[in-house]
Chain A
Amino acid sequence: MSAWAAVLDDVRRRGGTPAQVATRLGLSISLVQAVLDHAQRLGVVALASGGCASGCPAGPQMPQACAGCPISLP
């Protein structure tokens, strides 16, 4: 399986951060970031913007990845 397919498959099945994906697949973080960046540009992946520790955007600008967060508000 190519790096592209492996990364997208792992993200779909297990979620997590780019660092987690890289460690699970034994790939460099740089490669995983490049794959996810390109996938996001194609619109097949939505990435959370920023970490949970630096503020939680709420309302219409809330990232899709935050939908499951108990502190998120519609």
Chain B
Amino acid sequence: MSCHSPVSAPVVARRGIQTRTPLPARLRVLLVGGPNVGKSTLFNALTGARQHTTNAPGTTVELANGTWRTTAQVKADTAIERALVDLPGTYSLLARSSDEQVTADAVHELAQSSGQVGQRGVVVVVLDATALARSLYLLGQVAETGVPLVVALTMLDLAGTVTDSPTATMQPQTLAAVLAASLDVPVVPVDSRGRAAGGLGALARAVDAVAVAKHPKRVAGILPPDTAVLDIAGELAHAERLFEWVAHVTAQVAMGLAPDGEPPAGSGQPPHRPVATFSDRVDTVLLNTWAGIPVFLAVVWLLFELTTRFAAPLQAYVSQLVNGPLSSVVTSALGLLGLGNSWVQGLLVDGVLVGVGTVLTFLPVMAVMFTALGVLEDCGYLARAAFVADRAMRSLGLDGRALLPLVIGFGCNLPGLAATRTLPHARQRLLTGLLIPLTSCSARLTVYVLLAGTFFPHHAGTVIFALYLTSVALVLGGGLVLRQTAFRDVHTEPLILVLPSYQRPHLRTLGMSVQMRLGAFVTGAGKIIVATMLVLWVLMALPATGQHSVGHVPVADSVYGRAASDIAPLLAPAGFGNDHAAAALMTGLVAKEVVVGSFAQSYAVADPGSRTSAKSLGEALRGTFDESSGGHGGAAALAFMVFVLAYTPCVATLAVQKRLFGWRPTAAALLGQLATAWVLAVLVFQVGSRL
């Protein structure tokens, strides 16, 4: 048998007497289409609440199954039910992922079984009117399997926004009619929300008609391949024929719609005159010489306002839940087991529960931050931000490309350090690696939110924004100093960035990204936090002298308290020379997220009676900071936050720095960070307390 014949003209559909077969009791209907074409919206509209999720056989891929029920045309009191399956979105039946393979297998299986009595199934191929060629390519592949099919046309309300497509200037019904004439199979327009009863009813009638037809119509111009296995030459020849068909149908659509005498849209030479796109018009403002940086700063400020104002109430709720009902339940349960007021209760309630509560409390903050960063990246603005900030960095001697690791560092310093490997020269990597710890990571944000919310409740967002500005100033200033001293030999490289078009963020992708990052935060940082809280509790439970027993020792007399007491006097010039603050900074070396938990734990253990709700953490902090600063608690809190900003991020950062750059630069960086943090904190307090 020969290979595929060239596709140069549509094959005329066979007409004649078509004998109907009975509609199967439960017709199997598969929804096939690309990602984000409205397939799932259509599925939900067709099935309503009559749906459930299963795994594709032998895989972990989830499939949405449902019952598509309509009333029979002939007998109004008779319902027709169809088993509808929403297959994973795919651009092609040439699968390269497990999801796509499931879709390809399902279509091939239906094609093989459709010839058998009672096994008829129908595929509904969802075509995206805004990306017609790409959808036609998938349709062609599905049609090659010989499976009975119907076309559902979606995104018609958005088709007019696609400027390089023949669909840009047509009416939806016209496009559907022209496509139906070209493809010679039913084409049903469906609106973007899967609504419009007329559309869905027409879809049901089309599917049923195909299901009962003895010889369902095939897509015009598509012939099934003679063999399923082709060598590469055969595949290339097949691809050429397939895309000839796609181009032919697209041209037919265009010719069917263009006014007489005008060439179809999307064909011919590129325009001579440059055409400003929507992204160009927006960039006129966002990349403007004078407006670009203020807009960038405004975006960052908005980010932090969202984090504080929006997430704070959620944080408070979670905190109350953990410290109140949950803590009471655990305490009561332990009492029933005869473990009340024992070291076990202390370990579980003041150790484990405090740790878990700390992690849960900051989930809303992290979720808001990750979502905002995801939106900025997905919509295309993040690349503009890098471009806007580049020149500022170059003027201070930093390579513009160093912005990427630094921006990542504002999320977490560890991947920021790992990202320095993208810089071409070792000296650039070291320079950037020394500056990354000065970027205020998201873990520090937890400390800012607590203290700013406590001491500056009406200006918390602005205070945090100022801290991030301080972080940027430290990075730039530090870079300038290092470039003029130890790094005179570092040279900058050209910055050439592809600017993506602005687009609406894909919510589903964004949601999955945020979920993944939150999961990583919980499992990664969460483990460290809970483990650290347990260690902290042990240190607080061990007496430094022989006057107390384990688990029943005041904090001041514990191993933990003694170490904090020795350090506290060094912090007095900065206004927070108290044991609680010193201890929190000590634990902050393990992980910044633990600072808040450390405060909570040290106050809770120091005054056990207060845990019952008489005294909040905020009140305790205000009292302590006011006392240690001589009545200037606000200035002391600000100084504390600046110290947290500037000193060593965490021991994990030190470990990565040592691995990347060696012991000497890491040790020098550690001393430099501590010294910088102390000097800045003292400066902030001494000036702030006099204002």
Contact = CB atoms under 8 A, between A and B. Distances in A.
Chains A and B in contact, CB within 8 Å: yes
B386 A30 contact: no
Contacts of B239: 4, 38-39, 42
B240 A4 contact: yes
A53 B383 contact: yes
Main secondary structure of the interface of B (DSSP, over half): helix
B97 to A, nearest CB: 11
B493 A37 contact: no
B498 A31 contact: no
B377 interface: yes
B132 A44 contact: no
A70 B246 CA distance: 39
B244 A37 contact: no
A2 B132 CA distance: 18
A60 interface: no
B164 interface: yes
Interface string B68-112: 000000000000000000000001101010000000000000000
A41 B132 contact: no
Contacts of A17: 498
A2 B247 contact: yes
A34 B421 contact: no
A26 B94 contact: no
B240 A30 contact: no
B19 interface: no
Interface in B190-247: 232, 235-236, 239-240, 242-244, 246-247
B439 to A, nearest CB: 16
A11 interface: no
B268 A53 contact: no
A28 B164 contact: yes
Interface string B651-685: 00000000000000000000000000000000000
A26 B266 contact: yes
A38 B266 contact: no
Nearest to A73: B421
Nearest to B501: A19
A4 B237 CA distance: 10
Nearest to A17: B498
Contacts of B64: none
B500 A53 contact: yes
B133 A30 contact: yes
Given A2-B247, A55-B404, A71-B401, A34 B383 contact: no
Contacts of A43: 232
A7 B379 CA distance: 28
A73 B269 contact: no
Interface in B347-395: 377, 382-383, 386
B165 interface: yes
Interface string B243-287: 110110010000000000000001111100000000000000000
Contact of B92 (A30, A38, A56): A38
B496 interface: yes
Contact of A31 (B246, B270, B401, B404): B246
B282 to A, nearest CB: 16
B497 A53 contact: yes
B424 A71 contact: yes
B235 A51 contact: no
A28 to B, nearest CB: 5
A71 B270 CA distance: 33
B137 interface: yes
Contacts of B250: 28, 31
B316 interface: no
Contacts of A34: 91, 133-134, 136-137, 243, 246
B244 to A, nearest CB: 5
A44 B231 CA distance: 13
Residue with the highest number of chain A CB atoms closer than 10 Å, among B91, B239, B377, B498: B239
Contact of A26 (B96, B134, B244, B268): B268
Contacts of B500: 51, 53
A5 B164 CA distance: 20
A65 B647 CA distance: 40
B165 A4 contact: no
Contact of B244 (A2, A23, A41): A2
B165 A2 contact: no
Contact of B94 (A35, A41, A73): A41
8 contacts: A26-B270, A27-B266, A28-B133, A30-B134, A30-B162, A31-B243, A55-B422, A56-B404
Given A4-B244, A55-B419, 6 more contacts: A51-B383, A51-B500, A53-B497, A71-B401, A71-B493, A72-B422
